Structure 1
């Protein structure tokens, strides 16, 4: 689905009042029922990643981490079954999985008297049963399964969706037997698949890190944002980069062009 900058801005502004959890995602979809769910989910994730990056330093000071940890201890002491970490994350406007990571790191640091390694933390977030505290393990699990933007569950889903779209694209290309093709009058030598929405920030990063490099090596190409993109970003066609939100069906292949040429000669 292709959106204008104005439409994207409207969605982005509404997102500012929501929390990065499944309830927030549900409210977003109810507010914009005409937009596809995959588009809204991708925008939801992109915007919260930006918000978390902007506020990262504030949440990771020594004082903030200690405060979160003490509030967690106090909360589970009063009611170990309550979703203490999840509610704390919502109150602090922090993604639940990120709050779980902060508290888990603090817990292990105090227990082992050393800073836990990143692989150890990641392993426990992926499998909370490895956490040597049953209450904390349950709290971390609640955070990861209710987080729509961060955490091992989200990473797994994103990876699977990306793989699915790459397989879909490869199958379409193989069925058509394409070496290169012409889309809307533009010759295409490469196709990049992105199972996400193309917003201003991510698209500019991709241009700098990937797309212009492909263009320099292989020539003009096509980028498919399967969850849609901001319409105004499709502004480099004359320079050799086309944006689409699906696999183009109205294509002309080299084989077809050569066949038409041969028929013209026969006449």
Structure 2
């Protein structure tokens, strides 16, 4: 009885990674319609804890990131043209509040990411047009000569889960974590491979996360490389990955696997673009589906 209860609890804890078109559309609709003057992290918490509780949380995080990125790109010109007005609003109000959350509240009211708002205000206030200089101020707010503005910028860094130095660091760490997970699982499966560092020493520029030394079969398909993506594979993002990376891998090394650890859209594996030799998975392939080349035994010397 206790064993069946454990199995039941385990099945409940498994979150869905492969999303149907309907499920994906509902998530995108929720993101686009999310209101109430909240930040993107409020939208994320609502999706993960209240609305889409049966779906892999990191899939929801990635879909939110993609949707908001596309939205920001579409509205950038509008916010850029309002930079003067936004700076004036901040200057008019900053002396009325004795806290560091003014810019965060303005970001909610303007439906813009806090770091995007900081970037606009810094560019306008200090007449900065070089993005690296602005990024330096965002990363090190103490360099801003206005103490109150510096404190507000720092608070925005803590409140923005879409961009900024803290968010960039988190994504880089997660990406590296799953690359290490891929190598560990490949070693445990008995796969011999070169990693990116090995391939770069050999003179390759665009390199998959692991290049298999001896190709193997996955469900009858030849595998020469595996790419790790700590992301969600929607069709548009996957097509971009093909153009930027996977096409080069297939041309140079042959067919391979891309793992979207946080899941993918059901239509992504069906894209005709995959016909060049791309297999899409949401986890490392099961050992039972792998067939390895058997090396012939050398004859015993007489």
Task: Give the TM-score normalised by structure 1.
Answer: 0.88
Q: Of Structure 1 and Structure 2, which has the larger fraction of its residues in helix?
A: 1
| Residue 282 of structure 2 is aligned to residue 245 of structure 1 | yes
Gaps of 5+ in 1: 110-114, 263-267
Distance 2:143 2:93 in 1: 22
Partner of 1:140: 153
Partner of 1:112: none
| Residue 73 of structure 2 is aligned to residue 35 of structure 1 | no
| Residue 8 of structure 2 is aligned to residue 8 of structure 1 | no
Q: What is the count of residue pairs matched by the alignment?
A: 252
Question: Are 2:100 and 2:148, in contact at CA under 8 Å, matched by a contact in 1?
Answer: no
Distance 2:132 2:242 in 1: 31
Q: CA RMSD in A?
A: 1.9
Partner of 2:264: 229
CA distance 1:247–1:108, change in 2 (3 Å): same
| Residue 111 of structure 2 is aligned to residue 93 of structure 1 | yes
Greater RCO, 1 or 2 (C-alpha within 8 Å, sep 6+): 1
Instruction: Give 1:252 shift.
Output: 2.2
Distance 2:68 2:186 in 1: 34
| Residue 191 of structure 2 is aligned to residue 177 of structure 1 | yes
Task: Give the TM-score normalised by structure 2.
Answer: 0.78
SS of the equivalent of 2:94 reads helix
| C-alpha distance after superposition, 1:212-259 (max 9, x if no partner) | 22111111110100111101110256541111011112332433xx37
Partner of 1:104: 122
1:72-221 equivalences under 5 Å are: 72-81=90-99, 83-109=101-127, 115=128, 117-175=130-188, 176-178=190-192, 179=213, 180-221=215-256
Gaps of 5+ in 2: 1-16, 193-212, 298-302
